[in-house]
Amino acid sequence: MKELVRVRAIVQRVSEASVEVDGRVCGAVENGFLVYLGVAHDDTEADVSYLADKVRHLRVFPDEAGRMNLDVNQAGGRVLVISAFTVQADARRGRRPTFESAAPQDHAIVLYELFCDALLRSGLHIERGSFGDHMDVKSVNDGPICVLLDSRRTF
């Protein structure tokens, strides 16, 4: 049986990011994270909890000496979370990625909301995309700092 990946996230440190649906801004942050979250078929609440904790405490913001020692909360940042099934893409074979490990919408939305709620409970200000809609995401990557995370800890 083929092993499926777990919850994955692409975390970008941004100076600003926003998301629009049908020309209307539904979420925006300055100086924080833009998180693209991808949920897999067999993901659980434990996977989401692990990843939310990892994002919350990821130390990639500069301290007074300019070293990446602060987490998003210590830096006074906010988080914009975008559901993106394409984070589950597998492009190892051929030229067209497969998304077979991506969770169906009814499962993915539950874990997406649990992820956002876990970040909220940790004291962060959270903005959200519009789950399942076509979104126009704009961002200014700060650094650039981009970190890949997955709950199975394969990278």
Q: How many residues does the chain have?
A: 155
Tens digits of per-residue pLDDT, 117-143?
A: 999 999 999 999 999 999 999 999 999
Does 3 map to a domain? no
Residues ≥6 apart with Cβ < 8 Å to 62: 68, 69, 70, 75
Q: Is residue 2 part of a domain?
A: no
The whole-model pTM stands at: 0.93
| Both tokens assigned to 44 | 């659980």
- pLDDT single digits (tens) 68-78: 999 999 999 99
3-state helix, strand, coil in the chain (%, to 5): 20, 40, 40
- Residue 121: inside a domain, yes or no? yes
Question: Which CATH number fits the domain that encloses residue 86?
Answer: 3.50.80.10
Give the closest residue to 37 by CA, choosing from 103, 120, 98, 106. 103
In a domain, 18, yes or no: yes
Instruction: For residue 81, tell me if it sits in a domain.
Output: yes
In sequence order, the 6+-apart residues with CB closer than 8 A to the CB of 107 are: 39, 41, 43
**Domain span holding position 83:** 8-150
In tens digits, what is the pLDDT along the chain, a chain of 155 residues?
344 457 899 999 999 999 999 999 999 999 999 999 999 999 999 999 999 999 999 999 999 999 999 999 999 999 999 999 999 999 999 999 999 999 999 999 999 999 999 999 999 999 999 999 999 999 999 999 999 998 876 65
Helix (H/G/I), strand (E/B), else coil: 40: strand
> How many structural domains are present in the chain?
1
In whole angstroms, what separates CA 20 from the centre of its chain?
17
